[in-house]
C-alpha cells in the first residue's frame, strides 16, 4: 500500500512539474476578445487543438530565445519529417512522459522507481535522435540507389532536345522520393536566382553523395567548355552503376559482422535491465558498496569502449 501511495505521489509530482513548466514558458493570453479575433466563418477548434497549439508556440518561443533547438529544422528536413522543430519537441516530450509512466508501472514496489523512470524518460530523446539518423541515412542510401536511373532520365531529356533545366524539372516530376524532392528543390532554387551548379553542389553536400558530386562537377565543366552532355552523363552513370554493384557486394559481406556486433552490444544491456526489473535484490551487493559501484562503472566504461571499437571494425567505408 505504501508503495502504491509513493508511486501515485511521484506521478502526481511529475504531472504538477510539467504543468508548472508549461505555465512558466507559456506566452501571455491575448487581450483582444475571442469574438473579434475569430473569422466569421471559422470552424470551432477543439480544446485539445488549442492546448497543443499553445504548447507548440511556447516551445517555439523558448527555442527562439535560446537560439538553438534540440532537433534542428535541417535534421528534420533531411529525415523527411514534415514537422516544425517545436512540434517535434512536443512529440518527444509526450513520449518521455508516457515512457516515464511506463517505467513507474514496471518498477512499483522496487527501490529503483525514480531511476527507472528517469532512464525510461531519457529513452525518448535518445530514440528520437537515433530514429532521425536512421531515416536520414536510409534516405541518402535510397537517393544513391536511384542516381543511375536519374542520370538516364537526364541524358534522355537532353537527347530529346530539352534544356538542362527542363530535363531536371522532368526528373523532379517523374522520379520517386527522395530524388524527386531534391530535384524539385534544385528547380525552385534556380527560379529564385541561384546558379544551377551551386544548387547541384548543395544537393550533393546535403545528401553526402560523392557520386552526385561527380555529376555536379561534370555538368559544371561541360557548361564551361561545351560538348555532348548526354554522353558525359551516360559515362558517369556507367561508372556509378559499377560502383553501386561493388558497394552492395561489400555491404552484403559485412552484414554478418554488423549483426554480431549489435547482438554483443545489446546482450549485456538487456540482461542487466531484465535482472534489475525482475530480481532487484541481485544487485544489492553492487549498489551497497564502493567496490561494487566501481565495478559497475568499470563495466560500463568497458562496454562503451568495446561498442565503439566493434562498430569501427564492422563499418566499411566505400
* Residue pLDDT, tens place only, 264-308: 899 998 888 888 878 878 877 777 778 888 888 899 899 999 989
Report the distance separating Cα 209 and Cα 205, nearest Å: 7
Nearest to 210 by CA among 257, 143, 270: 143
Range of the domain at 165: 140-245
Query: 28: pLDDT confidence band, cut at 50, 70 and 90?
Result: very low
- Higher-confidence residue of 22 and 143: namely 143
- Higher-confidence residue of 316 and 137: namely 137
pLDDT in tens, 117-156: 888 889 999 999 999 999 999 999 899 888 988 998 998 9
Report the distance separating Cα 268 and Cα 304, nearest Å: 11
pLDDT in tens, 34-87: 555 555 555 565 666 666 677 767 777 777 777 777 888 888 888 888 888 888
Residue 160 located in a structural domain: yes
Report the distance separating Cα 124 and Cα 141, nearest Å: 25
Residue 132: per-residue pLDDT: 92
The answer to whether residue 25 scores a pLDDT higher than 60 is no
Report the distance separating Cα 211 and Cα 138, nearest Å: 16
The answer to whether residue 162 scores a pLDDT higher than 70 is yes
Residue 268 located in a structural domain: no
Residue 29: per-residue pLDDT: 46
Phi and psi, residue 260, nearest 5°: -60, -40
The answer to whether residue 182 scores a pLDDT higher than 80 is yes
Nearest to 78 by CA among 181, 174, 169: 181
Residue 186: per-residue pLDDT: 92
C-beta separation of 53 from 90 below 8 A? no
Cα torsion 69, 76, 130, 243: sign:
negative
Q: Are residues 167 and 221 in the same domain?
A: yes
Report the distance separating Cα 252 and Cα 62, nearest Å: 45
Task: Quote the DSSP letter at residue 82.
Answer: -
HSE-CB for 306 with a 13 A CA cutoff = 15
Phi and psi, residue 42, nearest 5°: -75, 140
The answer to whether residue 8 scores a pLDDT higher than 80 is no
Residue 234 located in a structural domain: yes
Query: 24: pLDDT confidence band, cut at 50, 70 and 90?
Result: very low
Residue 291: per-residue pLDDT: 85
Q: Residue range 197-222: average pLDDT?
A: 89
Report the distance separating Cα 233 and Cα 262, nearest Å: 40
Report the distance separating Cα 127 and Cα 133, nearest Å: 10
Global pTM? 0.68
Task: Quote the DSSP letter at residue 83.
Answer: S
Q: Which residue, 245, 270, 303, sits at the end of a domain?
A: 245
C-beta separation of 116 from 148 below 8 A? no
Tell me the three cell numbers of residue 177.
522520393
pLDDT in tens, 90-113: 888 888 999 888 888 877 777 778
Look at the chain and report how many structural domains it folds into.
2
Residue 309 located in a structural domain: no
Q: Which residue, 225, 245, 265, sits at the end of a domain?
A: 245
Report the distance separating Cα 159 and Cα 142, nearest Å: 26
Q: Which residue, 106, 121, 148, sits at the end of a domain?
A: 106
Tell me the three cell numbers of residue 244.
553501386
Tell me the three cell numbers of residue 35.
469574438
Q: Are residues 99 and 158 in the same domain?
A: no
Q: Are residues 157 and 85 in the same domain?
A: no
Residue 23: per-residue pLDDT: 46
**Which CATH number characterizes residue 236's domain?**
1.20.81.30
Residue 39: per-residue pLDDT: 55
The answer to whether residue 16 scores a pLDDT higher than 90 is no
Residue 275 located in a structural domain: no
Amino acid at each position: 500500500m505504501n508503495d502504491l501511495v509513493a508511486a501515485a505521489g511521484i506521478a502526481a509530482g511529475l504531472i504538477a512539474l510539467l504543468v508548472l513548466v508549461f505555465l512558466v514558458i507559456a506566452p501571455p493570453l491575448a487581450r483582444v476578445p475571442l469574438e473579434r479575433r475569430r473569422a466569421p466563418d471559422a470552424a470551432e477548434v477543439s480544446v485539445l487543438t488549442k492546448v497543443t497549439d499553445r504548447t507548440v508556440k511556447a516551445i517555439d518561443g523558448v527555442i527562439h530565445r535560446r537560439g538553438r533547438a534540440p532537433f534542428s529544422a535541417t535534421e528534420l528536413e533531411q529525415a523527411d519529417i514534415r514537422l516544425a522543430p517545436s512540434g517535434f519537441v512536443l512529440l518527444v516530450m509526450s513520449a518521455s512522459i508516457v515512457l516515464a509512466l511506463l517505467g513507474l508501472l514496471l518498477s512499483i514496489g522496487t527501490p529503483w522507481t525514480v531511476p527507472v523512470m528517469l532512464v525510461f524518460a531519457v529513452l525518448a530523446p535518445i530514440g528520437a535522435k537515433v530514429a532521425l539518423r536512421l531515416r536520414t541515412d536510409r534516405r541518402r542510401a535510397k537517393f544513391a540507389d536511384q542516381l543511375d536511373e536519374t542520370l538516364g532520365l537526364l541524358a534522355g531529356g537532353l537527347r530529346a532536345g530539352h534544356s538542362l533545366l527542363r530535363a531536371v524539372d522532368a526528373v523532379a516530376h517523374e522520379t520517386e522520393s527522395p530524388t524527386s524532392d531534391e530535384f524539385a528543390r534544385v528547380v525552385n532554387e534556380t527560379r529564385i536566382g541561384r546558379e544551377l551548379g551551386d544548387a547541384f553542389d548543395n544537393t550533393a553536400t546535403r545528401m553526402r553523395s560523392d557520386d552526385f558530386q561527380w555529376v555536379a562537377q561534370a555538368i559544371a565543366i561541360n557548361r564551361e567548355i561545351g560538348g555532348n552532355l548526354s554522353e558525359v552523363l551516360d559515362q558517369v552513370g556507367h561508372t556509378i552503376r559499377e560502383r553501386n554493384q561493388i558497394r552492395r557486394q561489400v555491404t552484403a559481406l559485412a552484414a554478418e559482422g554488423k549483426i554480431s556486433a549489435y547482438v554483443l552490444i545489446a546482450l549485456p544491456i538487456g540482461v542487466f535491465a531484465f535482472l534489475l526489473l525482475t530480481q532487484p535484490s541481485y544487485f544489492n551487493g553492487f549498489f551497497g558498496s564502493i567496490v561494487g559501484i566501481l565495478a559497475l562503472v568499470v563495466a560500463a566504461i568497458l562496454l562503451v569502449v568495446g561498442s565503439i571499437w566493434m562498430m569501427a571494425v564492422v563499418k566499411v567505408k566505400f
